[in-house]
Structure formats: C-alpha cells, structure tokens
Amino acid sequence: MMTTESATRTIVVEREFPHPPEKLWRALTDSSVLAQWLLKNDFTPVAGHAFRFRRDPMPGWDGVIDCKVVAVDPYKMLSYTWVAFGLESVVTFRLTPIEGGTHLRVEQSGFRADQEAAFKGSYYGWRGYLGGLERVVAELK
C-alpha cells in the first residue's frame, strides 16, 4: 500500500509472521541479527542513539545510511530516522500479537513529491527485506 500524507508520502508494508513478538523484536533490535536481513549496522535500541547502516558503495554513493533512534517500546514499536541520497525519512515498525504469531507493519514516511525513484525503490526494497526477515526469524532459537 502507498499512501499520501500532507506534502509527503508514506510507504506501508504489512506481513504476518508465525512467531511471537519477542522473536521478531530480537530480529529488529539485535545488531548482529539485524545485519543478517537488513544491513550492516552499529544499532542499539536506545532512544536518541545515532547509528549507521552500511552497504557496499556504488557510483555516487558511499553506502552509508545515517540514522537515529526516535522511539522504542519493547515488543511493540521501534522507530528511527533514515537519511541517505537527500531523503530524510522515518522508519517505524509496529508489532501486534495475533493468534499464532505477530502482525508487523513497516512504515517509511517523509518522501517528497520529487523523490519518486526513492519512493518506488524503498517500497520494493522493504518487500525484499521482509522476505529476508522471514527467513532469519524462522532460524532463530
């Protein structure tokens, strides 16, 4: 789903997992597990913590995404800024227990009208990342 909110747009990707919120939370907040499905990082789930995601550099980009933890509500919600390529957005994960698992809602907000390529790329990217998240969470003990 893609929605428009005021002058910016928001990507929303939702998925149900057959795992408890605690297991998903670990995949979202443990730096080494997070690196297995998202990107290399120096993440710590503490509000105000500045961190970076890193990927292989490519022409015109050093591969660094600057972030800062905005909010942490254990097993329920995690939010951080995501700054790269002139995009200043906020990524929010919301976990809701459901029978037999967890409903995960991922929102990335702050896309301006002139950032169509970033908007479409991020929508495609989150769908792929969540596929990786499913594989990693299934292997967690």
Per-residue pLDDT of the chain (141 residues; tens, 9 = 90+): 544 445 899 999 999 999 999 999 999 999 999 999 999 999 999 999 999 999 888 787 888 999 999 999 999 999 999 999 889 999 999 999 999 999 999 999 999 999 999 999 999 999 999 999 999 999 998
Give the separation between CA 137 and CA 30, rounded to whole angstroms. 12
Give the separation between CA 89 and CA 25, rounded to whole angstroms. 21
Per-residue model confidence (pLDDT) at position 109:
97
Per-residue model confidence (pLDDT) at position 6:
54
Per-residue model confidence (pLDDT) at position 116:
93
Per-residue model confidence (pLDDT) at position 85:
82
Task: State the CB neighbour count (10 A cutoff) for residue 58.
Answer: 8
Q: Where are the beta strands (DSSP E) in 6-137?
A: 8-17, 40-41, 50-54, 64-73, 77-84, 87-98, 101-112
Per-residue model confidence (pLDDT) at position 75:
98
What CATH superfamily is the domain 2-139? START domain (3.30.530.20)
Per-residue model confidence (pLDDT) at position 7:
83
Tokens 């998202």 sit at which residue? 38
